[in-house]
Structure 1
Amino acid sequence: MEKLKGESDYIEILEEILLQYFTDPIQAIVENTYPSFSSILDDPSYLQNRAILAPTIGVVHSINEYMSSLNTYEGSTYLSCDSTCKSDSNVEMLADVHTPEVLNGIKCLGVANHELTLKVGTPVMLL
């Protein structure tokens, strides 16, 4: 590809938007996006004006876990069902393939996690 006149080989990112000098990247992202998060839990507008975009479900889970840990309220944990539907004709075969460990470990887009912990004051997004 031919380089056009005035075209540059790199994109310059301003220093003030770069996160520098951190040991925990999740903590750095959260603290820069939501400064004073734990003291402003009861202000919905504070959360509506900010967002963290994450590349994978694993990163989303890590950010959610970290932000939940900032909330000092006691949480209630809810578990999903961990068995297959008994109305299927191949119940025995499904039970062998879909063990509780396999069902509880599924983490993908469109499927709820097996364990959900809710705390007073923590925002929840329903899709």
Structure 2
Amino acid sequence: MIHQTPATGNREQRIRDAERNLFAAVGADVDEFFLTLPRTGLRVRVLSHGQGPAVVLLHGVTENAAIWAPLFANLRHFRLLAVDLPGHGLSDPATFRRGQVREHARQLIDDILDA
């Protein structure tokens, strides 16, 4: 079996197309913005939906911020901020050092909340 890797631009467009269809299916009007994290210098994408008290949503491994789309339509009285963690979705890639994942995650969450 031969696996082909699509060009980066094509990958981004496929992500955006899939998310647009997903958000339309759940009836969510989603805004997007990017943050440059102060400590790491990484650029992360944030999907924003709703108004009210802010709730930061962080996904698990191999997922991206769009995983939270079903909540967007149901929690409209909150400002949901779903972050594409580094190495996922449309955020910058990240390198993890073996044995330092927990510390890296702690620093990353602090960085996101500070931003």
TM-score (norm 2): 0.26
Larger Rg: 1
TM-score (norm 1): 0.25
